[in-house]
Structure 1
Amino acid sequence: MHRDHATDEFGAPVPVSVLPDGRRRALRIGLGGPVGSGKTATVAALCRVLRGELSLGVVTNDIYTTEDAEFLLRRAVLPPERITAVATGCCPHTAIRDDISANLEAVEDLEAAVGPLDLVLVESGGDNLTATFSRGLVDAQIFVIDVAGGDKIPRKGGPGVSSADLLVINKTDLAPLVGADLEVMARDAKVQRGDLPVVFTSLAAEDGVAPVTAWVRERLAAWV
């Protein structure tokens, strides 16, 4: 049962910002991107930085397993009751864009169980450049690509690259090893995205997630 959204004229869920008891619900941010781009590592880094100042929850997606949730649990980034997993059993984009019912229920159940929450991070299973989140599920979305895929990735475009609220180009430390030109990636991302923000990260570096954390804090400030 989805407790905190209305539907539009076509029956699609439209999230509202206030829970039935009058409290503002958590801001929901989705993280998508190809397999191995660093989505789970980004979620873990954000949790480590923000858990001392915010009430957090995480919903992970995998096709047949709960591997990403188990990764976060092993690293104790949040208490176990604040991390839940969805096994989609289908292409990852289906569960975050087309039939969001399992994810929406997981988010709502998490907030009901351990809330009130300030922020819920919804991590998609690894997908391709077309993956985007339904606005009925999340309020903003981050798309993570990585330098190891080559500096051509931003140029290839796709909805994830071109329309996500934040594009993260991860693993910049690998650029010299794979022959990727970060300036080319920045230029091509600008062509694809216009004024939408792009940040470069290396999660191997100390506080390498800082640009993403700053963006999340800005979204939270606007939400509150």
Structure 2
Amino acid sequence: MHLDHGHDHHGAVSADAHRPDGSRRALRIGLGGPVGSGKTATVAALCRELRDTLSLAVVTNDIYTREDAEFLLRNAVLPPERIQAVETGACPHTAIRDDISANLEAVEDLEEAVGPLDLILVESGGDNLTATFSKGLVDAQIFVIDVAGGDDIPRKGGPGVTTADLLVVNKTDLAPYVGSDLERMARDAKEQRGDLPVAFTSLRGENGVAPVADWVRAQLAAWTA
């Protein structure tokens, strides 16, 4: 998603950076991607990496369950009061792009309950390559794909792949076993995305989420500058 308000696309931007009381609200970053790409695992890893230095919270979206939120709770990545679950009742993209009211309410409730917050991660339920976030909900979007889905995904494109502020190619450790060519994926992603960044990750490795965490820190630095 390009957040084009006349700013550099690599920095977080928003038309409304403040709460009603005039204080700066939290930076909101959305994570989307196909089912099984590793969105929830990425959120969990980011929470572990950032929780000691940032005040953060998470909103998850599932169609009829709270499974993603329960995963985060089971793994104790954040205190329970910092994790909110939204049951969308329909395709997840509707709750992050079309009718964002439930997610906005969850975000605002978290800021009221446990704020002030530096960062809120909003995770979409698993969707297809067209899932994008409303600019009214998040300030920047991460789109997660994985090598097991096929190394032709970057070439095929779609709004999530081509316009997300950060594209994450996850599960790189599986590439030799599923016949995915990481160099080809990198070339195709570059052709589709131009100067927009791409991060290759393997969350099984030590500090595997580091490229994504570094990008989030850069967005937060731009947000608070």
Query: Please, what TM-score do these two structures have when normalized by structure 1?
Result: 0.93
Residue 86 of structure 2 is matched in structure 1 by 86
CA distance in 2, matches of 1:207, 1:163: 26
Structure 2 unaligned runs (5+)?
A: 1-13
Q: CA deviation at 1:15?
A: 5.3
Match runs of 1:172-211 below 5 Å: 172-211=172-211
Match runs of 1:73-222 below 5 Å: 73-222=73-222
1:45 aligns with 2:34: no
Residue 63 of structure 1 is matched in structure 2 by 63
1:20 aligns with 2:26: no
CA distance in 2, matches of 1:96, 1:15: 18
CA distance in 1, matches of 2:102, 2:15: 15
Q: CA deviation at 1:140?
A: 0.2
CA distance in 2, matches of 1:36, 1:89: 19
CA distance in 2, matches of 1:43, 1:113: 21
CA distance in 2, matches of 1:55, 1:44: 15
Residues 132-177 of structure 1: CA distance to partner in whole angstroms, max 9, x if unpaired? 0000000000000000111011111000000000000000000000
Residues 83-142 of structure 1: CA distance to partner in whole angstroms, max 9, x if unpaired? 000000000110000110111111011111110000000000000000000000000000
Determine if contact 1:86/1:102 at 8 Å carries over to the other structure: yes
3-state DSSP of counterpart to 1:183: helix
3-state DSSP of counterpart to 1:68: helix
Equivalent position amino acid for 2:209 in 1: V
Residue 10 of structure 1 is matched in structure 2 by none
The one of the two structures with greater contact order (alpha-carbon pairs below 8 A, sep at least 6) is 2
- Aligned pairs, number: 211
Residues 166-195 of structure 1: CA distance to partner in whole angstroms, max 9, x if unpaired? 000000000000000000000100111011
> What is the root-mean-square deviation in Å for CA atoms of aligned residues?
0.8
Q: Percent identity?
A: 83
Structure 1 unaligned runs (5+)?
A: 1-13
Equivalent position amino acid for 2:120 in 1: V
Equivalent position amino acid for 1:122 in 2: V
Instruction: Could you list the structure 1 runs, at least 4 aligned residues long, displaced by more than 2 angstroms after superposition.
Output: none
3-state DSSP of counterpart to 1:71: helix
